[in-house]
Amino acid sequence: MIPSYPGSPRTLEGAFSIDSRYSAEDIHMKYRKAIAFLHHDHEFLEAAELGDHKKLRFLIDHKVDIHCKDHLGRNALHLAVCTGNRYAVAMLLNAGVNPTIKDHLGMTPLSLCLMRRPSLRMASLLFDHGAVLLPRLAPTDTGLFLQFVMMCIPTKEEERILRLLVQKGALVNDPEAPGGRQALHFAAMSNNTCLINILIDLGANLFCVNHRNQTPKQVAAVFNCRQAYALLEQYEILHDQKYNQSRSDTSATSGCSDSTTQD
């Protein structure tokens, strides 16, 4: 299979850079030839994957079929997103290319943005032009939010994207999550304390249970993730303290009210 996504492990840059016989110019030319071969009958798709916004503008102005797809069911927006060229992506969106179309692998342009080239600005651009978090089609479908949680480090950029996804309707506590596994379960089993802090701040439920009736802290114990276990235990203690304080305050308020009534 000829690779076609720039920046992914399937790119020709990666395939040829290990061989000193190829110069940077040779690699670039081979990459362009591969793109041309893949889209030999679709100049529009070729320009999109190369991020050639000038050619895209020319073709759009000349009424090319902007909804054409390649052999994997990807439209021009799928391909442009992978180049990271926001100008080309904005041009395609403004021309009316559908941002919610899935390719044959079930990936939307937003999916590709998050899974291959995570970019807050690109994701925001897609959302601003109609991209949405699509509902699950099967009980085993993890959904885009959980997929992103499982692959992110998270960097500062990824943290901002997580917050954006929640703003756009992603559920931190998802009752339909496969196996009951929530984002916090995945963060716990990967010993990702940074991600745990972000998810708790976003409202993750400390006491949600998976299909084995395990909380995130119990999952951390099963996977011997000590840092995650210790952090989740601290959050549970803090939760209990707040709960007890709230009950105490409620009782005190109730007592004052009864006293006033008797007077």
Report pLDDT digits (tens) over 133-153: 998 888 888 999 999 999 999
Residue 13 lies in a domain: no
CA dist., res. 173 & res. 199, Å (int): 10
Please state the rounded mean pLDDT for residues 46-71.
90
Instruction: Please tell me the predicted confidence (pLDDT) of residue 138.
Output: 86
In a 13 Å sphere around the CA of 39, the CA atoms on its Cβ side amount to: 24
96 and 117 share one domain:
yes
Domain total of the chain:
2
Q: Is residue 189 predicted with pLDDT exceeding 80?
A: yes
Q: Is residue 190 predicted with pLDDT exceeding 70?
A: yes
Q: Is residue 15 predicted with pLDDT exceeding 90?
A: no
Under the banding of pLDDT at 50, 70 and 90, the label for residue 37 is very low
Q: Which residues fall within 8 angstroms of residue 137, CB to CB, at 6 or more apart?
A: none
The closest alpha carbon to 12, from 2, 22, 24, belongs to 2
120 and 209 share one domain:
no
Handedness of CA 84, 87, 93, 97 (dihedral sign): negative
Residue 83 lies in a domain: yes
Final residue of a domain: which of 109, 132, 155? 132
Domain coverage including residue 229: 137-247
Q: Is residue 77 predicted with pLDDT exceeding 70?
A: yes
Least confident of 35-44, 97-106, 194-203: 35-44
Q: Give the domain CATH number at 209.
A: 1.25.40.20
Q: Is residue 30 predicted with pLDDT exceeding 60?
A: no
pTM of the model: 0.78
Final residue of a domain: which of 132, 163, 198? 132
Q: Is residue 210 predicted with pLDDT exceeding 50?
A: yes
- Phi and psi at 75, nearest 5°, equal -90, 180
